């Protein structure tokens, strides 16, 4: 009932704000685009783009592994396109890292939008967990559909004029919308009018949720129930695509997502993982490494390998190890990457890393937190991953030998003194349990294949199931506030505590302060602030 009430309120707010904007002469909020025609053109452009990509890719194929990966990606895209003949529902696209999920799921969505008549598709949404992935996916989608006006990018780093800001932040009227998981969750649950306004745009849409394993544990129950509502009441089609598919219908989850049969978009998932295997994964976690011992290992590895990625759990450890290792490795280009860098600096750093990996012959060491894992398109010879959840380890492995440049890349899971992180301790313990069982089984499959990943999620969700209703203290949960509301004798028909739930819905704890960083555009703003003559001049910034 609370979901339907939110839908009706969303329609009311959008109608009111749009009418007001029109009365004030703002034509930017008019929704006059012929989306059916747009999707047909976008599908045609996508098909031409893929034909061009395939022609170019064939010229660069050198190894048998690269040829095999190329053919597998093509087959996956074809299966996804054929799956468009199914009705709306909740489906899974479970594919290894580097299998081409972005373009495969986009092709499916465009074909559904261009050809489905009942109901007609209103929008295509591409939801990513991090801004960096959203930016990367947006660029890929824009290139594929060949028209930037059809694609909107919405997240906290997008900067627009005041007039555009209102439309982008509240309306979501473009045919294709790329946004972050946090913006998506706020649209589903925040009490703010600008978030509620967007909600009705989700009906009759195709929603691609990329890297769904990044969904915070406390949000799982409300997320599952809202996906069920959007699909089976609002006729949205929802695709959960990742290499580490969370078991949202697990027996250890009380409020399950309701998949539609057949739930998997591609067949032979286990075989696809087997054929995409490009790494050997070893767990060397019995004896924790010190900075000195890890430095010696990396130095030794550079005798045979040119590119190494080290992923640690804590920003502080990344910084201190970076300071240590740059004094030890004089002939290696070393990159540092954490959210301590401002967004523009991170983006530039990633571009520099990709450029060095692709065009330089210099030895490269990248030291990063997990922000480099999911969705970042780069490939190294060897990945070191500090012990974390098995899903993180699988995502880290996806940055190794990504395109089959060698027969097998190496992934080494370690423990590093000083990188202990209490927040992920449960996930680490469950990974160790899976590893122990895996070693006893003599399995020929990789530990990051679906069979083992499913078991990891089963035992992990069993451990954290009591958190999934989203506890906010004093015996209240977000689930309870949105279903039965506050306890009391008066039983109104509409008694959900929407405002309280929305105010307490913070899937990511944002305790930082907004600052201007002296980097590129930030430097320009600081210079203008310093030279401003009046207070009113400074208000512009």
Instruction: Give the pair of three-digit tokens for residue 509.
Output: 């704890």
Residues whose CB is less than 8 angstroms from the CB of residue 21 and which lie 6 or more positions away in sequence, other chains included: 28, 29, 166
Q: What is the CA radius of gyration of the chain?
A: 24
Structural domain includes residue 29: no
Quote the pLDDT of residue 31: 62
Same domain for 161 and 93: yes
- The pTM for the full model equals 0.92
Report CA dihedral (536, 537, 539, 541) to the nearest 10 degrees. Answer: 180
Q: How many structural domains are present in the chain?
A: 4
> What pLDDT score does 51 carry?
95
Alpha helices in 276-380 (DSSP H): 291-301, 315-328, 343-359
- In this prediction, residue 80 carries a pLDDT of 97
The verdict on 496 and 529 lying in the same domain is: no
Judge if 453 and 540 occupy the same domain.
no
Question: Using CA atoms, how far apart are residues 248 and 502, in angstroms rounded to an integer?
Answer: 23
Same-domain status, 41 and 152: yes
Same domain for 400 and 516, yes or no, is no
Peptide bond into 367 cis (omega under 30): no
* C-alpha to C-alpha distance for 186 and 507, rounded to whole angstroms: 9
Question: Of 402, 434, 464, at which residue does a domain stop?
Answer: 464
Domain boundary among 253, 272, 291: 272
Give the list of residues 6+ apart from residue 493 with CB closer than 8 angstroms, or none: none
Mean pLDDT in runs of 10 for the chain (541 residues)?
A: 91 90 70 84 97 89 84 95 94 93 97 90 94 90 95 81 56 94 96 95 97 94 98 98 95 96 95 93 96 98 97 97 96 94 88 93 96 86 98 96 90 96 96 96 93 96 96 93 72 77 87 73 75 60 51
Asked whether residue 110 is domain-assigned, the answer is: yes
Could you tell me the residue range of the domain that residue 516 belongs to?
A: 511-541
Q: Is residue 359 part of a domain?
A: yes
| CA quadruple 79, 81, 86, 90: dihedral sign | positive
- Pair (281, 246) in one structural domain: no
pLDDT at residue 163, rounded to an integer: 56
């Amino acid at each position: 009932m609370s979901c339907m009430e939110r839908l009706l309120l969303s329609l009311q707010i959008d109608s009111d704000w749009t009418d007001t904007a029109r009365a004030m002469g703002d034509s930017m909020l008019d929704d006059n685009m012929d989306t059916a025609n747009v999707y047909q053109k976008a599908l045609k452009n996508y098909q031409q783009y893929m034909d061009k990509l395939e022609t170019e890719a064939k010229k660069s194929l050198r190894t048998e592994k690269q040829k095999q990966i190329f053919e597998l990606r093509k087959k996956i895209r074809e299966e996804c396109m054929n799956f468009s003949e199914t009705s709306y529902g909740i489906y899974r696209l479970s594919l290894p890292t580097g299998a081409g999920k972005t373009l495969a799921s986009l092709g499916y969505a465009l074909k559904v939008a261009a050809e489905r008549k009942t109901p007609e598709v209103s929008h295509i949404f591409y939801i990513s967990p991090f801004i960096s992935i959203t930016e990367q996916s947006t660029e890929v989608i824009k290139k594929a559909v060949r028209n930037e006006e059809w694609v909107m990018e919405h997240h906290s780093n997008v900067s627009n004029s005041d007039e555009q800001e209102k439309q982008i932040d509240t309306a979501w009227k473009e045919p294709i919308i790329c946004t972050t998981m946090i913006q998506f969750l706020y649209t589903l649950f925040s009490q703010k009018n600008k978030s509620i306004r967007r909600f009705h745009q989700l009906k009759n849409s195709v929603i691609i949720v990329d890297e769904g394993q990044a969904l915070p544990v406390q949000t799982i129950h409300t997320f599952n129930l809202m996906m069920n509502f959007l699909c089976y009441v609002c006729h949205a089609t929802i695709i959960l695509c990742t290499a580490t598919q969370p078991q949202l219908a697990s027996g250890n989850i009380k409020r399950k997502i309701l998949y539609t049969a057949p739930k998997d978009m591609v067949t032979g998932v286990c075989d696809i993982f087997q054929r995409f295997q490009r790494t050997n994964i070893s767990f060397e976690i019995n004896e924790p490494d010190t900075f000195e011992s890890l430095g010696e290992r990396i130095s030794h590895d550079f005798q045979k390998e040119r590119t190494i990625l080290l992923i640690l759990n804590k920003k502080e450890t990344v910084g201190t190890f970076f300071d240590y290792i740059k004094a030890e490795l004089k002939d290696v280009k070393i990159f540092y990457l954490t959210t301590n860098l401002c967004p523009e600096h991170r983006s530039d750093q990633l571009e520099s890393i990709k450029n060095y990996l692709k065009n330089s012959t210099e030895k490269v060491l990248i030291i990063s937190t997990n922000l480099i894992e999911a969705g970042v398109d780069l490939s190294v010879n060897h990945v070191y991953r500090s012990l974390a959840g098995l899903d993180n380890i699988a995502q880290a492995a996806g940055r190794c030998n990504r395109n089959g440049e060698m027969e097998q890349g190496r992934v080494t899971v370690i423990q590093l003194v000083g990188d202990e992180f209490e927040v992920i301790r449960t996930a680490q313990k469950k990974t160790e349990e899976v590893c122990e069982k895996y070693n006893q089984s003599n399995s020929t499959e990789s530990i990051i294949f679906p069979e083992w990943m499913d078991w990891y999620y089963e035992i992990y969700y069993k451990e954290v199931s009591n958190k999934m209703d989203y506890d906010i203290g004093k015996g209240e949960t977000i689930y309870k506030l949105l279903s039965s509301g506050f306890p009391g004798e008066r039983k109104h028909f509409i008694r959900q505590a929407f405002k309280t739930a929305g105010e307490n819905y913070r899937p990511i704890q944002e305790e930082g302060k907004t600052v201007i960083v002296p980097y590129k555009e930030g430097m320009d703003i600081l210079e203008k602030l310093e030279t401003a003559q009046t207070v009113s001049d400074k208000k512009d910034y």
